[in-house]
Structure 1
Amino acid sequence: MAVSQDIDVKILPACPESTAEISITQQPISVSVGGKTLKIYSQQTEPATSPRLTVLLLHGQAFTSQNWVEINTLPLLASWGYRAVAIDLPGYGQSKDVSLDGVSQEDFMAALVGTLGSLPVIVSPSMSGAFSLPYLFSDPSGSTQRATAYIPVAPVMTDQYTANYPESQLPTLIVYGENDEQLGSRSHDDLKVLPASKVAALPEAGHACYMNQPAMFHNVVYQFLSSVEGQED
């Protein structure tokens, strides 16, 4: 079994270009699942040229898509050549009135990804693990047909799929804050058996490590996305 590798967390000039001119579009995404159509709020950015990858950004329980705007993640991804789609999950933010009402999180994720037009890299902090983990690892042998790559950030529910992880070849960047001694260290211990995984432990950061250390978080994401592109060539 392969051992997960550490990724460099040094703050580097991942993107020297200005992001001030990159516009963010707010628009609903129509997700058809379970015989109904859910209107999911999203914020999106597009690169100046054809996108090299699509990045789907989920969020934790106390957060929304707006947090990715506040730390400049969406414009940065566009400046690197990626399409970025940040959503408010059903029941949260500007999707607070949307109810799954009997639809599983796994089926919702499958339907959502189906609207994007390409398999995304899924960024999944904390609570959103309840959506991303069953979608990717209920059938781990097919995880590479459900996403291009995975960036879990101390997600919940990692212990429910520990037997499945070794069967997955999905490129994964495991991110957590070094000061997150509960969910961060627990999720790392569970996920590190993923054969195609790398690890980035952000120093002086807690559970929402991307908010505590945004520059460092963006740097490790930039490195990882670049490596994923290299694997696709």
Structure 2
Amino acid sequence: MKFFNKKFGTSFEAAKQNIQNKFDSERIQMVAISNLKFDKDFKELFAQEPEKVERIAHDMKEHGFDKSQPIIATKDGSILDGNSRFMAANQIGIKYVPVVYKDFADKNEALKYELHLQLDRRNLSDSEVFAMFKKLEEMKQSAKSEGKSTEDFTDAKLAEQLKKSERQVQKMRELSKKADEQTLDKVASGEITINQAYSEIKKAEQPKETKPNENSSINKSEFFKGVKFALDELANGKTAEEILAAL
């Protein structure tokens, strides 16, 4: 019994230490802003609007950096969430900012976390939804090439993550495969919606209508003249061979 208690106590202490380590690693820390950096894959997923950065910078000048909204970063300092806050703080010369470091198994896990954060707080535009879809498709291909499961990337799962219908997911996939660069750029800039772009590619796929032959009326007239000529010649006792030779 004594051995059991000792073993149980050791297991409990280990579990307690794991919880403490996780808490310590994810607590808010004041970090030198120079220790943080942009990561292209994270930063380009959601555009940082200049007007929004300006508003945040103005608020920070008056009230400082709101510690209840820390920057979230990976262990190497790559910013996952808070790019606009980071830019605003840099703009007005703040040297230390609140940061929560998160640990992930790999970059795809970090990207999934970022997507989850953004979807929970934003009303996404079509351009942002399409950007997220393309990133998820890249993650799917990456998982495939590494021999990992792609069960998180079915149309049903993507629809759930993007808060769209499965049909909309299928439209985005077809759009990404068939649309030209100009159309994709229009979606990315918000100039047209996903549905509008999809309609364009489907319209382009339809067979073009044959234009009426400009000489159709002439051909028709000539046809009837030929028929009348043949009938007249038959009435005059000509054979079919003679009529064809005359034509």
Taking structure 2 as the reference length, what is the TM-score of the superposition?
0.27
Higher helix share: 2
Higher strand share: 1
Higher relative contact order (CA 8 A, sep 6+): 1
Bigger Rg, structure 1 or 2:
2
